[in-house]
Amino acid sequence: MSDPTDEEVVQVAAEAAEGLVRSRYKQSNIRDLDVTVTFEDGVLDVDVYLNAPEGDADAEAVADEAARAAQSAADELFEDA
């Protein structure tokens, strides 16, 4: 099997990050969500900006967790290749 394409890595990582955020907050409670993922020369860069009300979850902690979820999803993609 061949390694995933850069586009596949970006897609899988972005979906994982967004999925984690959406699992922590109701859609209507998310004021702003921006997930930026790049994969160049074997380096994955994930930036998650989340603006959500305080309460059920700390937005900064959730954003950090989402970035880690993106990294894990990309790692799994390569392991499966």
Complete domains list, the chain, with CATH: 6-80 (3.30.300.100)
Kindly state the greatest CA–CA separation across the chain.
45
Q: What is d(CA 63, CA 35) in angstroms, rounded to the nearest whole number?
A: 9
Model pTM? 0.93
Give residue 13's pLDDT band: very low, low, confident or very high (50, 70, 90): very high
Q: How far, in Å, CA of 74 to CA of 70, rounded?
A: 6
Q: For residue 79, give the DSSP letter.
A: H
Q: How far apart are CA 81 and CA 62, in angstroms?
A: 29
- Residues 47-81: pLDDT tens digits? 999 999 877 679 999 999 999 999 999 999 999 98
- pLDDT score for 53: 85
